[in-house]
């Protein structure tokens, strides 16, 4: 639910900001300085510079807030780690989009260094999110062991068998299909396996639906059973990918955090230069 709400807010804010200055952004570069919209939407304009300040602030809040939640246990009372991660992603994608509007899609000098370092951090964050959600975790965000995941798979099998009244032996091949184990390639092989299995999920869901219909499972039971079946399949995949993806996530941290540090360093220089040249937004 939180993810849906944040997505709606993201689209509303980003869409409104883009539409507001669209006429200016579509102007050729050599005409922008003479436009009546320049005092508002130029990088040094009231709104344009405001986008930069608000965007950078959102990034800072997102990074500092999520880092603090992971390090200070007393913040756990304000929500589970997964919700903080969702807010972190919301702030650290909306912020860069506003910074993009601040640049008016024109990059040069130190601005280009700041922007592209930010773009790389965002891209690595999206990749890290893809890896993170495929590592089984507790409700508090701690990684589960292989034994704990396997026990969850067995428990789901029992729940599905009890719900449908079908013998567990009839369900095994369908609910826990012979998913090919990642073979060779190390971390690259694990990623390729994850992408491939993501593409196969819809086909598996159709197979589960057809199987339940053919065995006479009442329609009212099919939807919850299919949800359980997809959850079980996800856990089986995570069992196969657990160790390589945990290793990949550790490597990702080694890259993502230094990139974020460089981004903030360059951003700080950009802000200092802007203030030095008198670009101080409202306080001109």
pTM above 0.75, yes or no: no
pLDDT on residue 80? 83
Domain ranges of the chain: 2-26+38-140+249-276, 154-242
Considering only residues 31 and 112, tell me which one the structure prediction assigns the higher pLDDT. 31
- Span 186-202, mean pLDDT? 69
Average the pLDDT over 148-177 and give the result: 66
pLDDT exceeds cutoff 60 at 112: yes
Give the lowest-confidence range in 3-17, 131-145, 155-169, 240-254: 131-145
Measured CA angle at 250 (ends 128, 66), to 5 deg: 55
Percent of the chain at pLDDT > 90 equals 17
| Over residues 54-73, mean pLDDT | 89
Question: Which has the higher per-residue pLDDT, 150 or 58?
Answer: 58
């Amino acid at each position: 639910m939180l993810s849906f709400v944040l997505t709606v807010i993201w689209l509303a804010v980003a869409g409104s900001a883009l539409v507001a200055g669209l006429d200016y952004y579509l102007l050729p570069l050599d005409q922008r300085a003479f436009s009546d919209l320049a005092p508002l939407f130029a990088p040094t304009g009231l709104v344009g510079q405001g986008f930069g300040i608000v965007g950078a602030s959102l990034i800072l809040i997102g990074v500092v807030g999520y880092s603090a939640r992971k390090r200070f246990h007393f913040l756990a009372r304000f929500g589970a780690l997964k919700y903080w991660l969702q807010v972190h992603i919301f702030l650290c994608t909306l912020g860069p989009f506003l910074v993009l509007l601040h640049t008016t899609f024109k990059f040069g000098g130190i601005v280009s260094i700041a922007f592209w370092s930010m773009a790389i951090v965002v891209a690595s964050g999206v990749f890290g999110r893809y890896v993170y959600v495929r590592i089984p975790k507790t409700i508090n965000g701690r990684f589960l062991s292989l034994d704990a995941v396997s026990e969850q798979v067995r428990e789901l099998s029992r729940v599905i068998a009890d719900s449908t009244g079908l013998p567990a032996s009839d369900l095994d091949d369908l609910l826990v299909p012979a998913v090919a184990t990642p073979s060779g390639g190390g971390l690259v092989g694990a990623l390729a396996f994850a992408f491939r299995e993501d593409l196969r999920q819809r086909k598996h869901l159709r197979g589960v639906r057809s199987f339940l219909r053919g065995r006479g499972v009442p329609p009212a039971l099919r939807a919850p059973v299919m949800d359980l079946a997809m959850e079980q399949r996800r856990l089986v995949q995570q069992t196969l990918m657990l160790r390589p993806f945990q290793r990949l996530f550790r490597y990702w941290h080694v890259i993502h955090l230094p990139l974020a540090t460089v981004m903030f360093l360059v951003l700080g220089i950009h802000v200092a230069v802007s203030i030095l040249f008198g670009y101080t937004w409202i306080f001109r």
